[in-house]
């Protein structure tokens, strides 16, 4: 039993290990994304300085807290981006989904491993941006190791939440031959409801409740609020319980959705 589990874990680790090689193969894309994000940090930095030009706090957040949050949210925004709908659409369109299902590795677990590999690689790639933000844009990082530990756990749990949601959302590709529109819709909704653009506290109360009730906030707002100091470390048990509840619920639903959707495969051309 243990040997079988170890064999499966090694197989999943191999899938995750391919991701850094993929990023190295597309270096120009990585560099372009790097410069675009520097421009984005610059715009957000001067925008929020202008907003706070009159002094005071906004919804209980000072300029320093807001800048810390916004800069971190922009740096870590890749955590709520996903290529899974596009990949699933390609597998269905080209008829490769049947081959994937025949592999001796659980289909969902395999893609979970790859998505976690993408998230880990993206976090490593953002380190130069973190240095630039600290030196040029007055961003401050916590020195308490407990904050970093809580942050790491919330990132891991949050990524599991958003992956399970994306898995269910990707099941829609079995019912359509066009996935570009679905992917654009998903990315737009994620950017808005995750708190990547503004802290959720700045939204109207009814909209803030909607944002907190969606999975994207678990992947970005919760970890960033911990790291930026908006949420205290003492909130960690409550935040983790909420994320675990999301994982359990979406885990059951994602398996159910896929089991129903896989019965209907539409391939372009036949």
219 or 9, greater pLDDT: 219
Comparing 17-26, 78-87, 211-220, which segment has the lowest mean pLDDT? 17-26
Q: Where do the domains of the chain lie?
A: 2-261
Is the model's pLDDT at 84 over the cut of 90? no
107 or 222, greater pLDDT: 222
Where do we find the tokens 């990524």? 159
pLDDT tens-digit series, residues 100-143: 777 777 788 888 888 888 888 888 888 888 999 998 888 888 88
Calpha distance 50→42 (Å, rounded): 12
Tell me if 107 sits within 8 A of 101, measured CB to CB: yes
Span 19-39, average pLDDT: 74
pLDDT-derived band at 13, boundaries 50, 70, 90 = low
């Amino acid at each position: 039993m243990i040997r079988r589990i170890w064999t499966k874990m090694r197989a999943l680790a191999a899938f995750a290990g391919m991701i850094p090689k993929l990023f190295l193969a597309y270096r120009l894309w990585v560099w372009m994304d790097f410069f675009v994000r520097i421009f984005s940090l610059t715009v957000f930095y001067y925008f929020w300085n202008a907003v706070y030009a009159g002094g005071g706090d906004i919804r209980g957040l000072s300029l320093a807290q807001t800048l810390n949050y916004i800069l971190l949210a922009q740096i870590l925004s890749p955590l709520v981006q996903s290529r899974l709908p596009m990949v699933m659409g390609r597998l269905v369109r080209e008829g490769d989904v049947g081959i994937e299902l025949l592999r001796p590795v659980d289909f969902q677990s395999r893609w979970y491993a790859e998505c976690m590999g993408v998230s880990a690689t993206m976090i490593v790639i953002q380190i130069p941006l973190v240095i630039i933000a600290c030196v040029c844009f007055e961003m401050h990082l916590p020195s308490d190791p407990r904050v970093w530990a809580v942050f790491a756990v919330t990132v891991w749990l949050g990524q599991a939440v958003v992956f399970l949601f994306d898995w269910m959302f990707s099941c829609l590709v079995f019912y359509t031959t066009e996935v570009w529109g679905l992917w654009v819709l998903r990315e737009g909704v994620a950017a808005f409801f995750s708190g990547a653009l503004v802290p959720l506290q700045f939204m109207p109360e009814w909209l803030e409740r909607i944002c907190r009730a969606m999975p994207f906030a678990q992947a970005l707002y919760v970890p960033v609020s911990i790291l930026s100091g908006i949420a205290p470390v003492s909130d960690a048990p409550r935040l983790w319980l909420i994320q675990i509840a999301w994982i359990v619920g979406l885990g059951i639903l994602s398996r159910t959705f896929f089991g129903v959707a896989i019965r209907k495969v539409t391939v372009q051309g036949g």
